């Protein structure tokens, strides 16, 4: 497994390294999910179905029965009440992480091939300070740290974007990678700082942000109306 050593106790995960057969993809989805991917390619439909199958397997370990995981306006799935989670997919790999909402406010996971970003993409997505930090880490450890920084920003975006009250971009999530397999970041528009974990394994870069309810239920719900976000998940 790629992620098993990155997620803490209480977080369930499920991974897949291939998709369901073409004829089986639609059968794995609820009608509302099939409607979401009605007009996409077969490859995208199978990817969509596989990663939701991973999520349902992980949710079952929490005792939560299958239900539709339809994307909201941000593109993140609407998780069943009582659960939080995150999905990721890249060529050859799909994964889901889930946890009880009473224990975790939010999760973010991302995976990318362990290859450098094209220079033009790195320049667009990483501010100068992050590119310099990535260059130093690449020189020290030999990892494609520019794509790793992007991966860490993606996991951070997934963990925080449902709660921030307005849309933010990847560049808004400042992260700093450390050589010990951790990274630190700052929440856009706030002074709160957070930590995540990263690894290079089986040809993939993987990053995870897991925000515990004990540490984050106050900061994450401050200023948000009842019935939204984590408050809704734990009700």
Residue 90 within any structural domain of the chain: no
Position 217 scores a pLDDT of 81
Position 109 scores a pLDDT of 98
Residue with tokens 């094209």: 118
Total number of domains constituting the chain: 1
Residue 4 within any structural domain of the chain: no
Domain extent for 184: 111-213
Is the Cβ–Cβ distance between 227 and 124 less than 8 Å? no
Does pLDDT of 74 surpass 80?
A: no
Position 218 scores a pLDDT of 79
Residue 126 within any structural domain of the chain: yes
Position 139 scores a pLDDT of 94
The predicted-structure confidence for 127-163, as pLDDT tens digits, reads as follows: 998 999 999 999 999 999 999 999 999 999 999 887 7
The predicted-structure confidence for 172-182, as pLDDT tens digits, reads as follows: 888 999 999 99
Is the Cβ–Cβ distance between 232 and 81 less than 8 Å? yes
Residue with tokens 């740290």: 145
Residue 197 within any structural domain of the chain: yes
Residue 229 within any structural domain of the chain: no
Residue 145 within any structural domain of the chain: yes
Average pLDDT over residues 93-104: 96
Residue 184 within any structural domain of the chain: yes
The predicted-structure confidence for 177-211, as pLDDT tens digits, reads as follows: 999 999 999 888 777 889 999 999 999 999 999 99
Position 196 scores a pLDDT of 97
β-pairing verdict for 12-16 and 204-212: unpaired
């Amino acid at each position: 497994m790629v992620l098993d050593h990155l997620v803490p106790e209480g977080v369930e995960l499920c991974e897949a390294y291939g998709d369901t057969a073409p004829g089986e993809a639609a059968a794995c989805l609820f009608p509302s999910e099939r409607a979401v991917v009605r007009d996409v390619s077969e490859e995208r439909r199978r990817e969509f179905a596989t990663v939701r199958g991973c999520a349902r397997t992980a949710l079952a370990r929490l005792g939560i029965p299958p239900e539709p995981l339809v994307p909201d306006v941000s593109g993140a799935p609407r998780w069943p009440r009582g659960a939080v989670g995150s999905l990721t997919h890249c060529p050859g790999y799909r994964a889901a992480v889930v946890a009880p909402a009473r224990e975790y406010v939010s999760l973010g996971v991302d995976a990318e091939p362990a290859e450098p970003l094209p220079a033009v993409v790195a320049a667009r997505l990483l501010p100068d300070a992050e590119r310099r930090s990535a260059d130093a880490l690449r020189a020290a450890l030999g990892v494609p740290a520019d794509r790793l920084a992007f991966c860490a920003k993606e996991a951070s975006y997934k963990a925080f974007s449902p709660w921030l009250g307005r849309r933010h971009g990847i560049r808004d999530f400042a992260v700093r990678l450390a050589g010990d397999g951790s990274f630190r970041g700052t929440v856009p528009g706030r002074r709160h700082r957070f930590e995540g974990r990263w690894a290079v394994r089986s040809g993939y870069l993987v990053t995870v942000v897991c925000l515990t309810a004990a540490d984050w239920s106050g900061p994450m719900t401050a200023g948000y109306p009842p019935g939204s976000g984590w408050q809704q998940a734990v009700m």
